[in-house]
Amino acid sequence: MGIKIGIVGIGSFSHCFIPLFKAHPLVSEITLCDIDADKLEKNSVLYGIPKKSGSLDRLLETDVDAVVIITQNWLHGPQSLKAIRAGKHVYSAVPAGISVEEIRELVKAVEETGKIYMMGETSYYYPAVIFCREKYKKGEFGHVVYGEGEYYHDFDHGLYEVGKQRGGERWLETAGIPPMYYPTHSTSQIVSVTGAHMTHVSCHGFTDAKDDGVFGTANLWKNVFSNQTALFKMSDGSSCRINEFRRIGHTGAVRMALFGTEGSFEQNNAGMMWLTKEKNEKVDDLLKCTDDGFARIHQLDRLPKELLGLGSGHAGSHQFLVDDFVKACIYKKTPPVNVWEAARYTVPGIIAHESAVKGGDLLEIPDFGGPKF
């Protein structure tokens, strides 16, 4: 028993996942897919994977069961939709799409075809997020009143290189994508814990002042905001603040805080704390990733042994994401970060940017519901 997988987009990020999909005992065959013939041949030899495809369209004509899309972020929505309509299961890197219409069509396609869609949101398996989900399920937060999620990644920390790799000679047209079009590292930290979704938003954008051509009228979105801060109303009556910053004097972080009537969690560069009305408890020993890439809170016994020892990135998340997708396809089981969950992580950022363009107007966020199967 096994599935045939096509991995689409053999850029730098794919190297975190090709070895994991290859090693998974429920994957029977892999095809590498990229429009760059030299890159395709080089990595075919590097990983010992002989099957290759020079385009997504040609790949979809083969007998692969599923495709893993790790391409430029503005291509994810259309490519995922094409693959699902071609009868393939889909794993997509984040975000799921960059317009409400893309997300709407993606949800519709999954509901009509019954195919598996999963978004590879790494924050879902961050130790702090796992910790908060467990506390929430036990009722130890009480009623959640406020949450914070933030993704701080300054352009000086590798984003120029990423922009050039993704965009080629005309990279400035795409590098200045609105920060809130890439919100899922932050939003997922709150939504995946409480299950509440975002219903309304008011967002403020910081107009970039650096003269490097990234943010301004030259990019496809004519986006001038390098940093965006959004305040959301949640469906459970709480509120949530999300920061997406690309110009910040900071070493970088993906982190969260969550405050309830009975307990709270806080995280910053000094450490991680669980707090109640009676005590403050430092939980770094439980949540800090060690040299093997995992934290004590990660349930390694649920993973196939073949995935261990291969290294894991993004705070131990990679193996869990790969395993979720493969098993969802094999056993026809809806994965945790399914299409409806992905929509609830992604759409709020799209509407937040619209609010920022309108000077912070309070806007309603469309919702496509929870899992249908």
The answer to whether position 220 is within a domain reads: yes
User: What does the pLDDT read at residue 49?
Assistant: 98
The answer to whether position 328 is within a domain reads: no
The answer to whether position 241 is within a domain reads: yes
3-state secondary structure the chain: CCEEEEEECCCHHHHHCHHHHHHCCCEEEEEEECCCHHHHHHHHHHHCCCCEECCHHHHHCCCCCEEEECCCHHHHHHHHHHHHHCCCEEEECCCCCCCHHHHHHHHHHHHHHCCCEEECCHHHHCHHHHHHHHHHHCCCCCCEEEEEEEEECCCCCCHHHHHHHHHHHHCHHHHCCCHHHCCHHHHHHHHHHHCCCEEEEEEEEEECCCCCCCCCCCCCCCCCEEEEEEEEEECCCCEEEEEEECCCCCCCEEEEEEEECCEEEEEECCEEEEEECCCEEECHHHHCCCCCCCCCCCCHHHCCHHHCCCCCCCCCCHHHHHHHHHHHHHHCCCCCCCHHHHHHHHHHHHHHHHHHHCCCCCEECCCCCCCCC
pTM higher than 0.95: yes
| pLDDT tens-digit series, residues 67-123 | 999 999 999 999 999 999 999 999 999 999 999 999 999 999 999 999 999 999 999
| Residues 117 and 145 reside in one and the same domain | no
| Residues 175 and 100 reside in one and the same domain | no
| Residues 352 and 210 reside in one and the same domain | yes
| Residues 18 and 155 reside in one and the same domain | no
The answer to whether position 325 is within a domain reads: no
Q: What is the overall mean pLDDT for the chain?
A: 97
The percentage of the chain sitting over the pLDDT mark of 70, rounded to a whole number, equals: 100
The answer to whether position 200 is within a domain reads: yes
- What is the spatial order of strands in the sheet that 225-234 belongs to? 280-282, 271-276, 263-268, 253-260, 144-152, 239-245, 225-234, 198-207, 363-364
User: What does the pLDDT read at residue 366?
Assistant: 98
State which of 78, 99, 122 marks the end of a domain. Answer: 122
* CB 141, CB 271: distance < 8 Å: no
| Residues 129 and 240 reside in one and the same domain | yes
**Distance (Å, rounded) from C-alpha 318 to C-alpha 311?**
9
| pLDDT tens-digit series, residues 11-31 | 989 999 999 999 999 999 999
User: CATH number for the domain including 258?
Assistant: 3.30.360.10
| pLDDT tens-digit series, residues 270-329 | 999 999 999 999 999 999 999 899 999 999 999 999 999 998 899 999 999 999 999 999
| Residues 87 and 208 reside in one and the same domain | no
| Residues 168 and 27 reside in one and the same domain | no
| Residues 225 and 103 reside in one and the same domain | no
| Residues 179 and 217 reside in one and the same domain | yes
The answer to whether position 175 is within a domain reads: yes
User: CATH number for the domain including 37?
Assistant: 3.40.50.720
State which of 67, 88, 122 marks the end of a domain. Answer: 122
Q: Is the pLDDT of residue 181 over 90?
A: yes
Band (1; pLDDT cuts 50, 70, 90): confident
User: What does the pLDDT read at residue 333?
Assistant: 96
Average pLDDT over residues 126-152: 98
- Per the structure, how many domains does the chain have? 2
| Residues 184 and 268 reside in one and the same domain | yes
| Residues 204 and 82 reside in one and the same domain | no
The answer to whether position 308 is within a domain reads: no
Average pLDDT over residues 53-59: 98
State which of 88, 122, 156 marks the end of a domain. Answer: 122
Token duo for residue 156: 């000086």
User: Which residues span the domain enclosing 196?
Assistant: 123-292+337-364
User: What does the pLDDT read at residue 311?
Assistant: 83
The answer to whether position 213 is within a domain reads: yes
The number of C-alpha atoms within 13 Å of 237 and in the hemisphere containing its C-beta is: 5
| Residues 153 and 288 reside in one and the same domain | yes
